[in-house]
């Protein structure tokens, strides 16, 4: 087992160790204090969409247990908390009247963190689109981008004086492709044209959001959280290598290129450009606003082979088999070296600002035995990936912090509650929290920071 003390010595004293969650996955209280449904409330209550038809009505009941959960974070020695803000609490219909009680909750959350010496990293959109906006087409409608801009401004006018950092979107890959092309996440669409519309409108919303944030709270560092894919070809043959490049454009380039270069990938546009929605004059300049930081969520690599079938649609790839034998309980291949090569490739391709690993972690579903959770495989997963992070810092990449996904077991989207990613075990019947072996280990590491000549941010 890697000793937290040895590992800590490989990071600078001001490296930030945090934990991450998202509103829909933990808050529950789905009808409290004026909140209205999001697309995930609707989706999870449809038959066949989410395992066991689990939903977010109660989740971890975090909304009602806020103070105790913040005490828990503090007790673990963690110095930063990444959480998301629920749009349907702030603007229950997406547009229209502001719900003050929704803002009050995040006031309490931010103030509670400050009082405990925990830095606040807020994400504005982690997939809980107000359901009313679906009536206009959700992300397939350009108007949703402007609704997001107003929401971003309202949040930052209220919380911007106390936030340490803000991200516009979490993993647009999921809310675009997984939600509109693969049909696995809400709203469950399976249509390329819908997905391309969601793509451009999400990118546009990001850019409009950055403008609003800078205007309302100029001193808060703004970023974007991307689950960039570490993509490998299934073989060394030219067809699979070409497939890998197409997959890069499709899964990564469509987000990185407009945000960091100001255009969509040429090969992607050549293949699918005629199906894109209107890209109005000025859109790409809006999307291409400079950022203070970006977040990388990494779990597992993607392996692709060429799809030779006639009429295969861009990126025309099929899944290639995993190379590493070890998998987490959700079936994801464990490959820490892919995190390293991914960061190297992205910094080679793009002019990127400071980096935070905003999510990394593993699903293991062991329960409580004799009052404890022995989740050694999760601990090992963290240790191996953090070791790669220490290498990246040593090589000079501007990696400033790391957030474990997740603080506690929670609603794992289409998997419902059956997949557990927490450092803390949640008994969903009693809402009792038990820090797992991995959580104690992570706390021992995080608790050593900040140290040396560095001051906490």
DSSP class of 332: P
Closest contact distance (angstroms) between CB of 412 and ligand IFM is 5
* Residue number with CB closer to ligand IFM (234 or 422): 422
* One character per residue 414-433, x = contact with ligand IFM (rule: CB under 6 A): -------x------------
* CA 293 to centroid of chain Cα atoms: 14
Closest CA to 86 of 419, 359, 411, 408: 411
Residue 171 annotated to the active site: yes
**Could you say which of 189, 333, 359, 412 is catalytic?**
359
∠ CA 336-337-339, nearest 5°, is 70
SS3 221: coil
Residue 146: CB atoms within 10 A of its CB come to: 15
Q: Residue 27: which residues within 8 A CB-CB, separation 6 or more?
A: 56, 59, 60, 62, 63, 86
* One character per residue 115-154, x = contact with ligand IFM (rule: CB under 6 A): ----------------------------------------
Q: Rg of the Cα trace of the chain?
A: 21
Closest contact distance (angstroms) between CB of 24 and ligand IFM is 8
Closest contact distance (angstroms) between CB of 359 and ligand IFM is 5
Phi, psi torsion values for 25, nearest 5 degrees: -80, -20
Say how many residues touch ligand IFM, by CB under 6 A. 8
* Residue number with CB closer to ligand IFM (22 or 131): 22
- Selected from 7, 16, 19, 22, the binder of ligand IFM by CB under 6 A is 22
Distances (CA, A) of 243 to 191, 246, 259, 350: 21, 5, 23, 21
* Residue number with CB closer to ligand IFM (41 or 412): 412
Closest CA to 19 of 70, 61, 94: 70
DSSP class of 53: G
Interface with ligand IFM, residue 409, by CB under 6 A? no
* One character per residue 247-286, x = contact with ligand IFM (rule: CB under 6 A): ----------------------------------------
Closest contact distance (angstroms) between CB of 405 and ligand IFM is 5
**Could you say which of 27, 171, 189, 412 is catalytic?**
171
- Within 161-200, the residues that bind ligand IFM by CB under 6 A are 171
Alpha helices in 120-237 (DSSP H): 131-134, 142-159, 172-173, 179-180, 192-216
Compute the distance between CA of residue 195 and CA of residue 218 in angstroms, rounded to an integer: 32
* Residue number with CB closer to ligand IFM (414 or 444): 414
- Selected from 405, 417, 442, 449, the binder of ligand IFM by CB under 6 A is 405
* Residue number with CB closer to ligand IFM (171 or 249): 171
Compute the distance between CA of residue 407 and CA of residue 410 in angstroms, rounded to an integer: 9
Question: Helix axis angle, 142-159 relative to 100-115, nearest 10°?
Answer: 50
- Selected from 41, 189, 283, 412, the binder of ligand IFM by CB under 6 A is 412
* Residue number with CB closer to ligand IFM (131 or 419): 419
* Residue number with CB closer to ligand IFM (333 or 359): 359
- Selected from 41, 283, 359, 409, the binder of ligand IFM by CB under 6 A is 359
- Left, alpha or beta for 300 (phi > 0: left; psi -120 to 50: alpha)? beta
Active site residues: 171, 359
The binding site for ligand IFM (CB under 6 A) comprises 22, 25, 171, 297, 359, 405, 412, 421
């Amino acid at each position: 087992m890697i000793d937290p003390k040895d590992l800590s010595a490989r990071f600078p004293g001001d490296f930030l160790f945090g934990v991450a969650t998202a509103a829909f996955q933990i808050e529950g209280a789905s009808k409290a204090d004026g909140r209205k449904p999001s697309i995930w409330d609707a989706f999870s209550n449809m038959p066949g969409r989410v395992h066991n038809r689990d939903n977010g009505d109660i989740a971890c009941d975090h909304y009602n247990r806020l103070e105790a959960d913040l005490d828990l974070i503090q007790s673990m020695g963690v110095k930063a908390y990444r959480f998301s803000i629920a749009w349907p609490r702030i603007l229950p219909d997406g547009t229209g009247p502001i719900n003050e009680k929704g803002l009050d909750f995040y006031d309490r959350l931010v103030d509670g963190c400050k009082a405990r010496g925990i830095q606040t990293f807020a994400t504005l959109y982690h997939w809980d689109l107000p359901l009313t906006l679906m009536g206009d087409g959700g992300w397939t409608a350009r108007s949703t981008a402007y609704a997001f801009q107003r929401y971003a401004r309202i949040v930052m006018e209220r919380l911007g004086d106390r936030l340490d950092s803000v991200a516009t979107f979490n993993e647009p890959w999921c809310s675009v492709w997984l939600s509109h092309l693969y049909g696995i996440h809400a709203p469950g669409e399976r249509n390329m044209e819908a997905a391309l519309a969601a793509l451009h409108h999400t990118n546009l919303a990001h850019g409009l959001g950055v403008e609003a944030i800078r205007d309302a709270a100029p001193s808060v560092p703004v970023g974007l959280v991307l689950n960039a894919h570490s993509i490998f070809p299934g073989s060394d043959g030219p067809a699979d290598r070409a497939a890998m490049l197409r997959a890069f454009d499709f899964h990564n380039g469509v987000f990185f290129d407009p945000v960091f270069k100001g255009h969509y990938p040429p090969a992607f546009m050549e293949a699918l450009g005629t199906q894109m929605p209107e890209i109005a004059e000025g859109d790409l300049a809006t999307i291409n606003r400079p950022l203070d930081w970006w977040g990388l969520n990494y779990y597992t690599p993607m392996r692709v082979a060429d799809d030779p079938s006639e009429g295969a649609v861009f990126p025309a790839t099929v899944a290639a088999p995993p190379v590493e034998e070890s998998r987490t309980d959700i079936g994801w291949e464990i490959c820490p070296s892919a995190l390293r090569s991914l960061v190297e490739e992205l910094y080679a391709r793009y002019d990127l600002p400071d980096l935070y690993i905003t999510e990394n972690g593993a699903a293991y579903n062991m329960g409580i035995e004799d009052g404890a959770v022995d989740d050694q495989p999760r601990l090992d997963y963290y240790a191996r990936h953090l070791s790669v992070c220490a290498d990246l810092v040593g090589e000079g990449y501007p990696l400033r912090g790391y957030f474990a996904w997740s603080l506690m077991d929670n609603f794992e989207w289409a998997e419902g509650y059956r997949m557990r990613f927490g450092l803390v075990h949640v008994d969903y019947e009693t809402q009792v929290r038990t820090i797992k072996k991995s959580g104690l280990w992570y706390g021992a590491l995080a608790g050593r920071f900040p140290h040396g000549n560095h001051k906490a941010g």
